[in-house]
Chains A and B, each alone.
Chain A
Amino acid sequence: MKHRTFFWFILPTLSAMILFIALPIVSVFVQSLFIQHEQVLIVSESCGPFGCTPTTSIDAEATAALREAQPLGRFNGLGTYFDRSHLATAEVAEIWAESSGLASFVSGLMDLKFYKALFFTLTYTFVVTPLVLVLGLAIAVGVNNLPKAMRGVAIFISLLPFLVATIVGSMILSWMLDGEGIIGATLQIIFNDPSLSIKASTSLMWIALMVYGVWHTLPFSFITFYAGLQTVPQDTLEAARVDGASKWQTMMNVVVPHLMPLVSFVTLMLLMDNFRVFEPIISFQAEAHAQSLSTFIVSDLREAGNPLYASAGATSILTIIGVAILLTPVLIRTWRDFNVKAN
């Protein structure tokens, strides 16, 4: 395609991406550099049904004047990125100085919410992603080997977890895992321990979240690989069979290499999705045991009542950077493959 034609072809998509993705990210970044004005407070008497007390309130007029003068707030540079709610550089340095070894450093680090959330998010990502890849491929191969008449039903059933809305699926599982729910209560009977509670144990909760993550995203990798399997060249398969390759050898040496581009694609999507894990934490009510960067953004924007935009903005940008770091190895690999093919 000529460059000129390509340009006109891509222009609508490109402008939509700039308008709806790039510019908002820039705006979020700009907001993350500013913090609120110094508040002007007044102390006065406040009265109500329970009597009168001296109360502090914000001087609305003075604050309005400050806002008029500097609508974005006070410039704070990258200060928010390094504060205790985010990278916490000062605190990390202190923990490092005080710690006696790696173990005590790590346990000190886990006291900082950003690193605690990062630890969970990365564990979640690196457990769920490979499991989904391998299991998805296994199911795809399994379904592909079924008699034609049964495939339709098998595909439909395998896709079900994907059809259920995330929030609904995780809520149902959460109720089942509850001490009063069918899985939770059964476990108590099996282990004969009435105090056994998945929701009270951090490690069990993590396992539950990851099991849910695998269950929910499996259909995505399954259907992609299943589509890929339909394109495996029959000649090559036949040649392998004639050469006396076992089923396993054919799988590893013919099918998997053929599907490699799809593996890269699915890995990219899974890494991105899993790093932003959010819904299961909310519907499992697992906030006591697992937090992710996404739950922090929501709590900065909603829980605080008066939103902390700088903090939420900084967490958003850090999430984007985190996703970018995770994706880099996969992207480099794809780029190399592309160059090899192009040459």
Chain B
Amino acid sequence: MFLKKIALSGAFAGLMGSAAFAADCGPSGKSVRILGSDFPAIQAVSGAAEANCAGSAGEFTINLRDNTRDMMNQALTPNPAEYTSVIVANSTLTQLMNDDLVRPLDDYVAKYGQHLKPTQLITINGKVMAVAFMANSQHLFSRTDILEKAGVDGVPSSVEDMVAAAEKIRAAGIMEYPIVMNMKVGWNVGEVFNLFFLANGGEMFKPGSAEPNVNSPQGVAALNSIKSLLGYTHPDHLSHASNETQALWESGQAAMAIMWGSRGAAVLDAEGSTEEVTSNTVLSAAPTAGGGSVPAATLWWDGITIAKNIPDEDAEATFAALVSGLTSDLMEEHNDKAIWLIDGFKPGPAAAGVAQSAAGGAKPYPMIPYINLMHNALGSELVDFYKGDESAEDALADVEAAYRTSAKEAGFLQ
């Protein structure tokens, strides 16, 4: 009898123990299919979900690739959808919600999300639509050794400082093109404009409407700030996106860069670069422009959504699996891979730039249904100005006209 009691309590304690440590993966035998962009933070999150819950799921697939934004709407439109979850950012959540392809997560958060911080929940119209796990933003990368050699004190904090420092570096014969930034025609050109436009206090749209509002003094000021920097960038800048700018930086061919925070860890690590570059690279807030105090950056988050057109139990299992990974355990292993929003994150040097941009009052990237159309119009119509073929006012007028055309077709304007 005594032995039986011990055996029973032992078994009981064992059960309790495993329940406390194993992740709660929701209904078992369901299908979990995740789509996301291919970078270290998302690899860590999806990897943790797989480690915790692949055993209890009937099917568990992860597809991480480039340009998910181009195909996520098509993938989630059929019923059942191709994926049960898409890992999105501010702009892509808007894109999915425009077509009503993601479901509210309130019930799942109540059931499986006790460990999430309230700031991680992306709430729109009173419903949780996404769970954010990391933040991202553009900011300044500086090479302190080169700045010092050219006689520049400290790290530049404004566009004007950057231009002055670049001129000194050029005059000292150290580098002809000390500045790099992502200026590839299309999305990147549009995004760079957003940074400086918002920092100048611009509003993309007339209040309460989809009418464009970029052809304004703030718009012209933004373009002039950008053009002053472009005088010191490589002549090929209109073909440079993140991969090219990171390569230029890591090969030691630049002294100041405006790049994504998510590139910080990759720039600072030992891979792909020299000790001279990595040990002298300092990350700080994005520069201010035109005498303002707001850093020219937009704040982004990356987070989890659950598809609408899938069986409820698949949705529940997918959510449970993904949030099971968003714990302080993940932080212990992957702390330096991103600016995590998760409990237990300890900001390191790679996080300094994003943290300072955010603290300086940079604006979040607007989540408005027609922002993608504006972003596209900016990305294609501003090129004439950067090439010197058109005045700032004419280019901005073209942007508004191009935006109006597509907004009419999409039903946002009459």
The interface of chain A, by Cβ under 8 A from chain B, is: 35-39, 41-51, 53, 55-58, 60, 63-64, 73-74, 76, 80, 83-85, 91, 111, 113, 178-179, 194-195, 197, 199-200, 202, 285-289, 299, 302-308, 310-311
CA separation between A179 and B69, bound complex, in Å? 30
- In the complex, the answer to whether B100 meets A58 with C-beta atoms within 8 Å is yes
Contact of A38 among B376, B398, B414 (CB under 8 A): B414
Q: Which of B187, B236, B341, B414 contacts A179 (CB 8 A)?
A: B236
For A311, the chain B residues whose CB sits under 8 A away are 406, 409
12 A-B Cβ contacts within 8 A? A35-B408, A38-B411, A45-B125, A48-B132, A49-B119, A58-B98, A113-B380, A285-B239, A289-B387, A299-B186, A303-B70, A303-B187
A-contacting residues, B216-265, CB 8 Å: 234-239
What distance in Å separates the Cβ of B136 from its nearest Cβ neighbour in chain A?
11
Residue of B whose beta carbon sits closest to that of A56 = B368
Contacts A57-B124, A178-B236: A46 and B402 contacting too (C-beta < 8 A)?
Answer: no
On whether the beta carbons of A58 and B390 are closer than 8 Å, the reply is no
- Residues in chain A near residue B186, CB distance under 8 A: 287, 299, 303
Partner of A46, one of B234, B367, B379, B387: B367
* Chain A min CB distance to B4 (Å): 53
Check: B401 CB closer than 8 A to any chain A CB.
yes
- Which residues on A sit within 8 Å (CB–CB) of B185? 285, 287-288
Q: Verify if B182 is at the interface (C-beta below 8 Å from A).
A: no
Chain B residues with CB under 8 Å of A36's CB are 409-411
Q: Residue on B with the closest CB to A38?
A: B411
Taken together as a complex, chains A and B put the C-alpha atoms of A39 and B97 apart, in Å, by: 13
B167 → A minimal CB distance (Å):
16
Most buried by B among A49, A55, A195, A202: A49
- Inter-chain contact B95/A305, CB cutoff 8 Å: yes
Q: Is B364 an interface residue (CB 8 A)?
A: yes
CB <8 Å contact, A84 and B405: yes
Quick one: given A55-B124, A55-B368, A84-B401, are A200 and B236 in contact (CB under 8 Å)? yes
Return the chain B residue nearest A47 by Cβ. Answer: B123
Q: Which of A41, A48, A63, A299 contacts B123 (CB 8 A)?
A: A48
Total A-B contacts with CB atoms under 8 angstroms apart = 166
B235 CB to nearest chain A CB (Å): 4
15 additional contacts (CB under 8 A) given A43-B208, A50-B358: A36-B409, A37-B411, A44-B124, A46-B125, A55-B367, A91-B401, A111-B390, A111-B394, A199-B236, A199-B239, A288-B387, A304-B376, A305-B69, A305-B73, A306-B410
Residue among B95, B236, B364 facing the most chain A CB atoms (10 A cut-off): B236
Task: Give the most central of A46, A289, A311: most B CB within 10 Å.
Answer: A46
Chain B residues near A80 (CB-CB < 8 A): 409
Query: Which listed residue (A35, A41, A179, A289) contacts B409, Cβ 8 A?
Result: A35
The smallest C-beta distance from B57 to any residue of chain A, in angstroms, reads 29
Query: In the complex where A49-B135, A84-B402 touch, is A42 in contact with B236 (Cβ < 8 A)?
Result: no
Assess the B122–A47 pair: CB atoms within 8 A: yes
By a CB distance below 8 angstroms, the chain A residues around B39 are none
Instruction: State the CA gap A39–B210 with chains docked (Å).
Output: 11
Q: Give B contacts to A, CB under 8 Å.
A: 67, 69-71, 73, 91-92, 94-95, 97-100, 119-126, 132, 135, 176, 184-187, 208, 210, 234-239, 299, 301, 341, 358, 364, 366-369, 372-373, 376, 379-380, 383-384, 386-387, 390, 394, 398, 401-402, 404-406, 408-412, 414
Interface-central residue, B123, B364, B405, B409, by most chain A CB under 10 Å? B409
Residues of B within 8 A of A285 (CB): 184-185, 238-239
Contact between chains at A299 and B380 (CB < 8 Å): yes
Check A49–B341 contact: CB distance below 8 A. Answer: yes
Residue of chain B at shortest CB distance from A116: B384
Known: A42-B125, A44-B125, A48-B301. A58 touches B341 (CB 8 A): no
Nearest B residue (CB) for A311: B409
> In the assembly, what is the distance between CA of A58 and CA of B98, in Å?
6
B338 to chain A, nearest CB (A): 13
On whether the beta carbons of A200 and B238 are closer than 8 Å, the reply is: yes
Assess whether B369 is in contact with A58, with CB atoms less than 8 Å apart.
Answer: yes
Residues of A within 8 A of B67 (CB): 302
Tell me how far the C-beta of B98 lies from the nearest C-beta in chain A, rounded to whole angstroms.
5
CA distance A53 to B90 in the complex (A): 13
Select B406's contact among A56, A74, A85, A111, beta carbons within 8 Å.
A85
B235 touches A179 (CB 8 A): yes
Shortest Cβ gap from A119 to chain B (Å): 14
Q: How far is the CB of A53 from chain B (nearest CB, A)?
A: 7
> Residues of B contacting A53 with CB < 8 Å?
364
A45 and B367 CA atoms in complex are apart in Å by: 11
Contacting residues, chain B, for A306 (C-beta < 8 A): 73, 95, 98-99, 372, 410
CA distance A216 to B398 in the complex (A): 35
Q: Which of A42, A53, A195, A303 has the most CB of B within 10 A?
A: A303
A194 to B402: give the CA distance in the assembly, Å: 36
Identity of the chain A residue whose Cβ is nearest the Cβ of B70 in the assembled complex: A302
User: A197 CA to B369 CA in the complex, in Å?
Assistant: 39
- Docked CA distance A278–B412 (Å): 30
Q: Which residues of A contact B341 (CB under 8 A)?
A: 49
How many Å from the CB of B116 to the closest CB on chain A? 12
Contact call A288/B369, Cβ cutoff below 8 A: no
Contacts of B404 in A (CB 8 A): 84
User: B100 near A64 (CB under 8 angstroms)?
Assistant: yes
Contacts of B120 in A (CB 8 A): 49
Known interface pairs A56-B369, A304-B373, A305-B95. Does A48 touch B364 (Cβ–Cβ under 8 Å)? yes
**A41 to B387, Cβ gap below 8 A?**
no
